[in-house]
Amino acid sequence: DADVTQTPRNRITKTGKRIMLECSQTKGHDRMYWYRQDPGLGLRLIYYSFDVKDINKGEISDGYSVSRQAQAKFSLSLESAIPNQTALYFCATGDSSSNEQFFGPGTRLTVL
Amino acid sequence: DQQVKQNSPSLSVQEGRISILNCDYTNSMFDYFLWYKKYPAEGPTFLISISSIKDKNEDGRFTVFLNKSAKHLSLHIVPSQPGDSAVYFCAANLEYGNKLVFGAGTILRVKS
């Protein structure tokens, strides 16, 4: 079984809809991250959390919110989706003892 | 303002030859650098890393070189294999906050 899972893997939605992307991990890591990937821009950090009670904005947090429901779960919400939020979204986990992050398989989101 | 730049969007190399992927950065507060490889429909996977106190790190066919004075690092793959064809992301860790900043990625194609 994968250590970092994301659901759904693909989603098509309409402008204005609320969307939630979910991430779960079995690695026992305390740190979790949400990124989006756009062509030519690499991965950009949306939000990150170093602990259950800790939430931090990343480089591009506008239009997004997150919830750290448990150490193993970190969800990303788009309250009112817009077309320029069409992208590939990745969840990642990390440990305080290492700089390495471990990524999930990604969610391809299309906002029409 | 992109703090981590991969100026070559793509690179094509013959099987058995050397692949050299380059990365430049602007922030002197980066203390650790990582390379990730990404196949289509998968999340990025960690490949190799280097601390800012070193100038070389080698792992099998992969070697990363760091030139701090030039704020430049490179990934060498020798010999290149068709299975190395993927997108390669350079990432840098900020000394404070434990966040990774990614470059835009370079598509490597190894021709057989």
Amino acid letter, A42: G
Task: Give buried/exposed letters for A64-103 (b at 16+ CB in 10 A, else e).
Answer: bebebeebbebbbebeebeeebbbbbbbbbbeeeebbbbb
Q: Region A49-62: what's the mean pLDDT? A: 94
The pLDDT of residue B2: 79
Q: How much of chain A, in percent, has pLDDT values that exceed 90?
A: 88
Amino acid letter, B101: V
Q: Are A33 and A94 in contact (CB under 8 A)?
A: yes
B106 at A interface, C-beta within 8 A: no
Report the distance separating Cα B10 and Cα B62, nearest Å: 18
Tell me the two tokens of residue B41. 């429909």
Chain A positions touching B32 (Cβ under 8 A) are 99
The pLDDT of residue B83: 97
The pLDDT of residue A97: 84
The pLDDT of residue B94: 84
Chain B positions touching A27 (Cβ under 8 A) are none
Q: Are A108 and A10 in contact (CB under 8 A)?
A: yes
Q: Which residues contact B37 (CB under 8 A, 6 or more apart)?
A: B44, B45, B47, B84, B86, B87, B88, B89
Chain B positions touching A44 (Cβ under 8 A) are 102
Q: Which residues contact A97 (CB under 8 A, 6 or more apart)?
A: none
Report the distance separating Cα A16 and Cα A8, nearest Å: 19
Write the pLDDT tens digit of every residue in B62-77.
999 999 999 999 999 9
Report the distance separating Cα B33 and Cα B88, nearest Å: 13
Q: At A101, is the pLDDT very low, low, confident or very high (cuts 50, 70, 90)?
A: very high
**Hey, are the CB atoms on B98 and A31 less than 8 Å from each other?**
yes
Mean pLDDT of chain B: 95
Handedness of CA A33, A88, A42, B108 (dihedral sign): positive
Q: Helices H, strands E: what count in chain B?
A: 0, 11
The pLDDT of residue B96: 66
The pLDDT of residue A1: 61
Q: A107 to chain B, minimum CA–CA distance in Å? A: 9
- Bridging pattern class, strands A73-78 and A101-103: unpaired
The pLDDT of residue A37: 96
What residues of chain B score a pLDDT lower than 50?
Answer: none
Q: Region A77-106: what's the mean pLDDT? A: 94
Nearest 10 degrees: CA dihedral of B21, A40, B97, B76? -10
Chain A positions touching B102 (Cβ under 8 A) are 35, 42-44
Report the distance separating Cα B48 and Cα B24, nearest Å: 17
Tell me the two tokens of residue A109. 């989101």
Q: At A98, is the pLDDT very low, low, confident or very high (cuts 50, 70, 90)?
A: confident
Closest residue of chain A to B31, computed from CA coordinates: A99
Q: What is the DSSP letter of B57?
A: E
